[in-house]
Amino acid sequence: MEQIKRIDRKLIAKGSIIDYYQDTMQLPDGTTAQWDLIDHKGAAAVVPVLDDGRIVMVQQYRNALERNTLEVPAGGLKTRKEPTIEAAKRELREETGFTSDDLELLVSIKTTVAFCNEKIDIYVARNLKPGEQDLDEDEFVEYQAYEIDELIRRIYACEIQDSKTICAILAYKEKYINR
């Protein structure tokens, strides 16, 4: 396959979560095209597993969808160099109140490869210790524990559509339940 080469990158907008660039690309046939790029610092997510096997999920309003969603706890990195395991611990504590020192990397995903470089490392957390939520000022998050079979049913009923959550739940089931 012939190489495609970026010949220019222009910052169009700088946001609080993402930056939007327009790239001028030289294609293999010599022509150029404008491609969009959403630049993201990265994120971490966590599958919090209670001692009885239930998974703690969060429900929150998502502006892009104009509705509440059911998701695994997750959040963006504070800096590109922040270790994702630290971000996963932070988001677990902030969104659910639970803490854990028993986190294991489950899977890493790239969320939207056509136009975004966001990478999310997804961890499994066990030996959870309960505590108090510590939400950001603009966060309104409720949490509840679910059986894995209920979450799988909700995925295939198209009730859970968040990609990181689908990846997290299916990878967790394959690695730890379907052994």
Expressed in angstroms, the distance from the first to the final Cα of the chain is 39
Q: List, in sequence order, every residue forming a beta bridge with 26; answer none if it has no partner.
A: 5, 32
Which candidate in 82, 86, 137, 147 is catalytic? 137
∠ Cα 120 124 130 (to 5°)? 115
119 in Cβ contact with 89 (< 8 Å)? no
Q: What are phi and psi of 176, to 5 degrees?
A: -110, -25
* C-alpha–C-alpha distance, residues 55 and 69, integer Å: 16
Q: List, in sequence order, every residue forming a beta bridge with 104; answer none if it has no partner.
A: 124
- Determine whether 159 is an active site residue: no
- Decide: residue 165, CB within 10 A, 0-12 exposed, 13-18 middle, 19+ buried: buried
Residues near 14 by Cβ (< 8 Å), separated by ≥ 6?
A: 20
Catalytic residue IDs: 137
